[in-house]
Amino acid sequence: MTKRMIPMTFTALMAAAALAGCAGKTPESTPAGTQEKTQSEAQSDTVSGGDSSGKVQLNYYAWSEGDYLQDIVDAYNAQSTVAEVKMTQVNSNDYEDKLFTMLAGKNDIDIFNLRSGSMASDLASTGNLVDISQNIKDSGLDLGIYGTGFAETKYDGKFYVLPYRSSSYGLFYNKKMFDEKGIAYPDNLTWDEYGKLAMELTEGKGKDKIYGSYIPDWNSCTYEVLQKGSNLADDDLTPLKIWMERLNQYYNIDNSHMSFTDMRSSGTDGINFFTTGNCYMYPGGEWSISDALAMLKKNPQLKDTFELGIAMIPQVDKEGEKLTIGGVSTFVGINAASEKQEAAFDFVQFMAGKEAALITASYGAIPAYIDDDVVNAFEESIGVDGAGNMLDISKVSETLFIPGYSDITNLYVEELELYLIGEQTLDEAVKNFEEMGLESIIYRAAVSRVNMREANKIGYYSSSPNRQYDYDHK
């Protein structure tokens, strides 16, 4: 499988520009309407590098993504004789800006979280992450527990991060609606069968229309392409062309999925649309589970018409290995400027280990470390039949862990949308993507407070490698 030449300098330039632009600054004060909190404030940090117990004081920086992180920090602090961790959490929208400011300003930050492999590659390339390859070797850590995809996170042949979260895609469906129809649940489908079933289930017109399935306009995952072993950087874009044509079939020919035009004009929220009985099926990431369960908790009356079911994401065919999209997705690394790197690795290893994984799974999130005990903890937390299937299935990563890949994704999304709203043909979309994908493009972010954009992106930036995550964490 050959790859098109990806502009390797762009995202490295993005990170460098962001850091250079912040040079000499102190971290910005928290804007109105955001929340920044320092965890474990009672812990003493008056002694440089340590506390009265003789343990090294570590400063850990993360975005606000749930109480489980504090539970992990507390568990580490309770058992560690090496270090005491003080965690600072920042509003998710502000995280990158504040992190870059702190890294550029040489602030006292030892450990920080990274949203993606692309972000890890960027910060490794700019010298902001510690090479932990030797630490991993010396610790005897079995990297196989994280799946085959973790090897792809290497930058220049070296490891700079360890994973603590992973993702997995599934096919979610409303069991009550299938039961009412008296038809079997959508287990073990191919993409052809999925499309046919979605069309058969679609009924009604206008505001009363019930769709067979719903794929949000912000979901840029190229499921079938990845399952075929291809990706957006391949020379041969035939698998991508087939997938784009399939999406057009779903959206505009079968009309079994709400069209791009209607989604954009209506501002439809996918999870709300799904849980309120407007569609039978909903392909998406594991966060869709907690979103759906949160909707049920907020609106208990939905239990009369909605019950969450989880099936394997549709496959290319019935034969061969079953694959979903996912794998290690969220990471923790050590600041290259930290003077406490050995102690920092002790915490990083804990974050990526079994005890932390059990805590993460107990909150209904998927950790990077997965064994039978973790699967059981996840299933018990979710309380939905089939939840464990999202952990057991083999996974292929949605992105390539190299600088510049997120820009390729952005170009694909632009050309796909123009095709799906009828402004260009399929051949034109593929040709434009193929040609534009060879060029490096830099985007200048508008000022979010002025144009009311949800996500703060200051200066030069690339597109997100995970648009679903961004949407879910507005």
Quote the CA–CA distance of 91 and 94 in Å, as a whole number: 6
Please report, as a single letter, which amino acid is at residue 124.
A
DSSP secondary structure, 307-350, as one string? -EEEEEPPBS-SSS--EEEEEEEEEEEEBTT-S-HHHHHHHHHH
The per-residue pLDDT for range 237-260, each reduced to its tens digit, is 999 999 999 999 999 999 999 999
Residue 105 has pLDDT above 60, yes or no: yes
The per-residue pLDDT for range 444-453, each reduced to its tens digit, is 333 322 223 3
* Average pLDDT for the chain: 82
Q: Is the pTM of this model over 0.75?
A: no
Token pair listed for 70:
């504090």
pLDDT score recorded for residue 463: 42
Quote the CA–CA distance of 225 and 229 in Å, as a whole number: 7
What is the average pLDDT across 434-448? 49
The per-residue pLDDT for range 194-221, each reduced to its tens digit, is 999 999 999 999 889 999 999 999 888 9
pLDDT score recorded for residue 51: 56
Quote the CA–CA distance of 257 and 269 in Å, as a whole number: 14
pLDDT score recorded for residue 403: 65
Residue 460 has pLDDT above 60, yes or no: no
pLDDT score recorded for residue 107: 82
Residue 59 has pLDDT above 60, yes or no: yes
pLDDT band for position 363 (cuts 50, 70, 90) = confident
Question: 368 vs 225, 313, 436, 471, CA distance in Å?
Answer: 24, 20, 35, 22
What is the average pLDDT across 413-434? 96
To the nearest whole percent, how much of the chain has pLDDT over 90? 57
Whether the CB-CB separation of 283 and 313 falls below 8 Å is answered with yes
Question: 13 vs 8, 118, 227, 258, 403, CA distance in Å?
Answer: 9, 13, 31, 38, 9
pLDDT band for position 374 (cuts 50, 70, 90) = very high
pLDDT score recorded for residue 50: 56
